[in-house]
């Protein structure tokens, strides 16, 4: 049976700590309950919002005049273990970092560089979560979803998901059509960690010679601990004692530019760092923001930029309106100066 809560405070359900109240709230721990909850919303003509871990959502100060459905489908099952690979099935409501920790402790290689990221497993394929040289698209095998229209399960293969930099079909052409309920990963057993990110590689080298460690688990734990320490230094790990972590993580996506767009940018900002990304070129949103006059620690009306990471916007006693106003001001200035549009990474709900 579904259990609904009225007028729940949404600010307590997100890492940014903003938002008014939801008219109705319900947690769903099975696919059937999720389908039943959506059916209830449809029959009663109530708008609904799907909430995962709350680390990538900003709710309006007016709250959400409808039903907020929190996905709490749990469970980690090892479906198959053969040769040097393992197939792992995780419920969408599983805590992401707890899942990564489980994999590291089991000597399953492929997610260790994604340690310390807040949120739930079900959110990772939607925006193709990535950090320190790893992306979930590289290890996702299948994504199980609930079709919003038919209320039937639909499976997507890795190729079907149309993964790209920080995006997928679930964020673009099929936004709102499917709700992720399970994610299946193919990971290596006792594989060597592949360190592609220079900052991480340099940090590990100051601590140990990674490849002299004999056991895979020890290597993966070394990488995981290094990632978490780096993230902590940037306030990118949730910590009640760290005011700068009261955020959604990176608020802006690093822009991907075509060749002609890059040349236009370099005409006004020649020294901007450029990272090839397939047919595009990835540039630093943080550099654009800082060179547009918004430095670390900048604060306006209680909304601020983290003192440790330019891409993170922080709740320092602001309203959701103040936060979005600052984000829009930053975006407008960057576009005015460099002609580059910044894309907001968090989902804005109830605005």
- Residues 281 and 275: beta-carbon distance below 8 Å: yes
SS3 for the chain is CCCCEEEEEHHHHCCCCCCCEEEEEEEECCHHHHHHHHHHHHHCCCCEEEECCCCCEEECCCCEEEEEEEECCCCEEEEEEECCEEEEEEECCCEHHHHHHHHHHCCEECCHHHCCCCCEHHHCCCCCCEECCEEHHHCEEEEEEEECCCCCEEEEECHHHCCECCECCCCCCCCCCEEEEEEEEEEEECCCCCCCCHHHHHHHHHHCCHHHCCCHHHHHHHHHHHHHHHHHHCCCCCCCCCHHHCEEEECEECCEECHHHHHHHHHHCCCCCEEEECCEEEECHHHHHHCCCCCCCCEECCEEECCCCCCEEEECCCCHHHHHHHHHHHHHHHHHHHCCCCEECCEEECC
Give me the catalytic one of 135, 166, 169, 231: 166
Is 115 assigned a catalytic role?
no
- Phi/psi of residue 306, nearest 5 degrees: -50, 145
Give me the catalytic one of 250, 292, 306, 331: 250
CA–CA dist 76, 204 (Å, integer): 29
9 burial class (0-12, 13-18, 19+ CB within 10 angstroms)? middle
Is 292 assigned a catalytic role?
no
Is 21 assigned a catalytic role?
no
Give me the catalytic one of 229, 290, 343, 345: 345
Q: CA of 42: how far to CAs of 35, 66, 93, 148, 300, in Å? A: 11, 11, 23, 10, 40
Catalytic residues: 166, 250, 345
């Amino acid at each position: 049976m579904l259990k609904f809560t009225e007028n729940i405070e949404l600010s307590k359900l997100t890492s940014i700590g903003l938002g008014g109240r939801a008219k109705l709230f319900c947690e769903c721990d099975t696919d059937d309950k999720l389908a039943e909850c959506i059916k209830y919303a449809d029959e009663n003509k109530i708008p609904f919002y799907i909430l995962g871990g709350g680390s990538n959502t900003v709710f309006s100060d007016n709250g959400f005049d409808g039903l907020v459905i929190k996905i709490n489908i749990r469970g980690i099952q090892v479906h198959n273990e053969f040769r040097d690979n393992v197939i792992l099935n995780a419920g969408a409501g599983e805590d992401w970092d707890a899942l990564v920790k489980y994999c590291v402790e089991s000597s399953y290689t492929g997610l260790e560089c994604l340690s310390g990221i807040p949120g739930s497993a079900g959110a990772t394929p939607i925006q193709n979560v990535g950090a320190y040289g790893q992306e979930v698209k590289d290890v996702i095998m299948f994504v199980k979803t609930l079709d919003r229209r038919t209320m039937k399960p639909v499976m997507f293969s890795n190729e079907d998901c149309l993964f790209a930099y920080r995006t997928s079909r679930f964020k673009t052409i099929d936004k709102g059509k499917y709700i992720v309920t399970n994610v299946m990963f193919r990971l290596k057993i006792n594989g060597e960690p592949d360190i592609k990110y220079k900052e991480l590689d340099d940090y590990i080298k100051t601590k140990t010679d990674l490849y002299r460690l004999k056991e895979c688990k020890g290597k993966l734990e070394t990488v995981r601990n290094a990632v978490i320490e780096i993230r902590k230094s940037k306030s990118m790990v949730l910590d009640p004692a760290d005011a700068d972590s009261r955020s959604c993580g990176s608020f802006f996506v690093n822009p991907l530019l075509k060749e002609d767009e890059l040349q236009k940018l370099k005409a006004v900002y020649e020294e901007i760092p450029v990272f090839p990304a397939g047919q595009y070129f990835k540039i630093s949103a943080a550099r654009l923001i800082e060179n547009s006059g918004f430095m670390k620690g900048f604060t306006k009306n209680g909304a601020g930029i983290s003192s440790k990471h330019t891409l993170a916007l922080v709740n320092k006693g602001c309203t959701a309106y103040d936060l979005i106003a600052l984000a829009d001001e930053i975006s407008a200035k960057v576009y005015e100066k460099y002609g580059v549009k910044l894309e907001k990474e968090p989902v804005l709900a109830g605005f």
